[in-house]
Amino acid sequence: MTRQPTAAEAAPSGQPKPTRREQILAAAAELFALRGFHGVGIDDIGSAVGISGPGLYRHFRSKDAMLGEMLVAISEKLLAGGLRRVELADAPAEALTELVRWHVDFALDNQALITVHERDLANLAEDDRRRVRALQRQYVEVWVEVIREVVPATDEPTARAAAHAVFGLLNSTPHSKHLDRDAMAVLLHRMALAALTGPGALTGLTTSA
C-alpha cells in the first residue's frame, strides 16, 4: 500500500518546491493536450520525466488518478481566482474586467490544462467528474452574476450561454500562436468585453416577438 498525499501535504511549506508529483502532472498534461488521454501511454508519461513506465505508480494510484487530480486542481484554482477578483472589485464593471483579465491570464499560462480540461472531462472517473462539474458550475455562476449586474436586462439563461461563449473565445488560445503573449492578452480582453457589453448583444432574445 503506497502513501497518497492528496493535496494536503502537496504544499507543506509554500510554493518554492516543485514536487515529483507536480513534475509528472505537468508532463502528463502536456502529453494529454497533444494526443488525448487515451492516446498517451503510461510509458510515454514515464519517459517524459526520465523514469520509465510503471515507476509512476510510486506516485499515483492509477492513470485515471493523474487526470483526476490535475482537472480537479485546475478547476479549483480557476474558481478561487475568479471569486477573489470579484471580491476585490469595487464596482460591477470593474468586477467584469477583472474576471476577464483573470481568465485571459489563466488561459494563456495553462494552455495544456485548458485543452485537457475541455476535451477529456468525459474520461474522468465518476467521482472526479462530479467534483469538476460542480466547480465548473460555480465558476459559471460567478460570471453569470457579474454579467447580469453589468448588463441589467439580461435574463439568466442568456447570461449563462454568453458566459460559455466567452469561455470558448478565451480558451481559443491553444489554437493560435500568431501573436506574442502580451498582444494576445490585450486582444482577447478587448474582444471578450466587446462581445459581452456591445450594444444590445445580450438583450431582447427571450422576450422579443
Partner DNA sequence: GACATCTGTTAGCGGTCGTTAACGTGAGCT
Partner DNA sequence: AGCTCACGTTAACGACCGCTAACAGATGTC
Residue 9 interacts with DNA (CB under 7 A): yes or no: no
Closest CB to a second copy among 70 and 188?
188
198 contact choice in DNA, a second copy, none (CB below 5 to 8 Å, kind-dependent): a second copy
Q: Which of 40, 96, 114, 170 binds DNA (CB under 7 A)?
A: 40
To 5 degrees, how large is the angle CA 132–CA 122–CA 118? 65
Q: Which stretch binds DNA (CB under 7 A): 40-48, 164-172, 175-183, 196-204?
A: 40-48
Closest CB to a second copy among 3 and 178?
178
Residue 168 interacts with DNA (CB under 7 A): yes or no: no
Q: How far apart are CA 29 and CA 65, in angstroms?
A: 13
- Tell me, what DSSP letter sits at residue 53? G
Residue 35 interacts with DNA (CB under 7 A): yes or no: no
Which residue, 147, 138, 56, is CA-closest to 96?
147
Q: Tell me how far, at minimum, the Cβ of 137 lies from a second copy, in Å.
A: 12
Cell of 15: 510554493
CA dihedral 14, 18, 19, 20 (to 10 degrees): 180
Residue 54 interacts with DNA (CB under 7 A): yes or no: yes
Backbone φ, ψ for residue 195 (5° rounding): -65, -35
Closest CB to DNA among 31 and 147?
31
Q: Which residues bind a second copy (CB under 8 A)?
A: 34-39, 118-120, 122-123, 157-158, 160-162, 164-172, 175-176, 178-179, 183-184, 186-188, 190-196, 198-202, 205-206
104 and 167 in contact (C-beta within 8 Å)? no
Closest CB to a second copy among 91 and 194?
194
Q: Tell me how far, at minimum, the Cβ of 36 lies from a second copy, in Å.
A: 6
Cell of 178: 500568431
* Residues near 34 by beta carbon (within 8 Å), at least 6 away in sequence: 40
Residue 41 interacts with DNA (CB under 7 A): yes or no: yes
Q: How far apart are CA 87 and CA 91, in angstroms?
A: 10
Sign of the four-CA dihedral 184, 185, 186, 192: positive
Closest CB to a second copy among 59 and 123?
123
Binding residues (CB under 7 A) for DNA: these are: 2-3, 20, 38, 40-43, 46, 50-55, 57-59, 62-64
